[in-house]
Amino acid sequence: MIDADAKREGDGKSPLGAWPMRYVFYRPDRVPKPDTRLPVVALSPDDGWCDDPADPAYNTRVKLPWPASHEKLWRDDHVYDLIVVLGHNDDPVVPGMGSAIFMHLAREDYSGTEGCVALAMNDLLEVLREAEPGSQVEITA
């Protein structure tokens, strides 16, 4: 974990703070649309997230192929079958201060993420059932 002001692209750290849950992505070929009051968007194979601080689309969803560095949201593993986009470095976006801070599914062994929050499917679905616009995730340690 790291103070939000010290968060930098590629440091592999979760930014400390309270981050609003902006919206939810889900893989419609793998999981049903989640029950939540948050906005929900179905992913498609050409969805990505720009992580290049020099690109004008930094820290936003992009359609692939994308010329700058990016992360694929349609993955072979299952960690991005359900993603909550957290409102870190998005209002306004500051280049280099961190991108793609998500709450997503944990790996079976609960191995670390590159700065995200990871939960088991049942736990994430429960959080989403309770969430509403304005709900936040607080990262404390």
Domain count, the chain: 1
- How many whole angstroms separate alpha carbon 49 and alpha carbon 27? 15
Task: Determine, yes or no, domain membership for 139.
Answer: no
Question: Is the pTM above the cut of 0.85?
Answer: yes
- DSSP code per residue over 32-73: PPP--SS-EEE--TTEEEE--TTSTTTTSEEESS-SS-EEES
Q: What is the mean pLDDT of residues 100-127?
A: 97
Task: Determine, yes or no, domain membership for 140.
Answer: no
Residue 1 pLDDT class (50, 70, 90 cuts): low
Instruction: Work out the number of other CB atoms within 10 angstroms of the CB of residue 104.
Output: 23
Question: What pLDDT score was predicted for residue 6?
Answer: 86
Residue 141 pLDDT class (50, 70, 90 cuts): confident
Q: What is the mean pLDDT of residues 98-124?
A: 96
- How many whole angstroms separate alpha carbon 73 and alpha carbon 94? 22
Q: What is the mean pLDDT of residues 7-34?
A: 96
Task: Determine, yes or no, domain membership for 72.
Answer: yes
Task: Determine, yes or no, domain membership for 119.
Answer: yes
Task: Determine, yes or no, domain membership for 62.
Answer: yes
